[in-house]
Amino acid sequence: MRRFLFFPLALALVLGCGGSAGPRPPVAGSQLHFVVQDSTAPALYADSVGFYAYFSQDAQVSLYYRSATGGQGNELLHFQVPMGTLYKRPNGTAFGPGDSIWISIVVRDPHKFDFDFQPTGLQFNPAAPAFLRVDYLHSNHDFDGDGLITAADTAIEARLDLWKNEAPSPDWYEGGAANVEALEEIESSIYSFTHYAVAW
């Protein structure tokens, strides 16, 4: 089984892993390079998932690829909401003991690592945010699309990050996630809900 890393540990690891030198200016989606699934990647087991997150207890959920036998295969995405992480509802009211909320995650495009998190506007504790891990093992590693996997693609892989978009704005913002290249994972703290995608 794969180990689950909370973001503080991932942040410590990023010093020895790939990652950008610092957040870049926002870019339009038409100018962003979205990481795509490889043509040999398994189909998704499901393209959406939902669960209740609770103020007073831990909760987590995953999206999977389909295994060769039709069941759950490798993880695509893992999302954790630790106890005390729920902060404010989309209407701005605060969460407290006993409160919960329904969370859904939808794969916006099965050919990309592009996800919609709902409800839009949900906020997490700035001091104890939620945690997201996206596994890009099954991505097309010919990142520059020239038909060859070369050193240029290795350099691009080191730049992969989790980008954020808040509709209806066309702009995407670089998140400064930890890119653990040895595990082919993007790991990030999540402070609010919107669209997230692995890109460069």
For the entire predicted model, the pTM comes to 0.86
* Amino acid residing at 68: A
| Lowest mean pLDDT, pick from 6-20, 36-50, 69-83 | 6-20
Reduced 3-state DSSP string for 22-35:
CCCCCEEHHHCCEC
Q: What is the pLDDT of residue 167?
A: 80
Distances (CA, A) of 164 to 6, 23, 28, 60, 103: 20, 12, 11, 21, 18
Q: Are 178 and 13 in contact (CB under 8 A)?
A: yes
Question: What's the average model confidence in pLDDT over 125-151?
Answer: 96
Give Cα 191 to chain centroid, integer Å. Answer: 12
Q: Quickly count: other Cβ atoms within 10 Å of residue 53's Cβ.
A: 25
Q: What is the pLDDT of residue 23?
A: 66
Nearest Cα residue to 199 out of 174, 180, 166, 178: 174
pLDDT at 20 over 50: no
Q: pLDDT category, 195, cuts 50, 70, 90?
A: very high
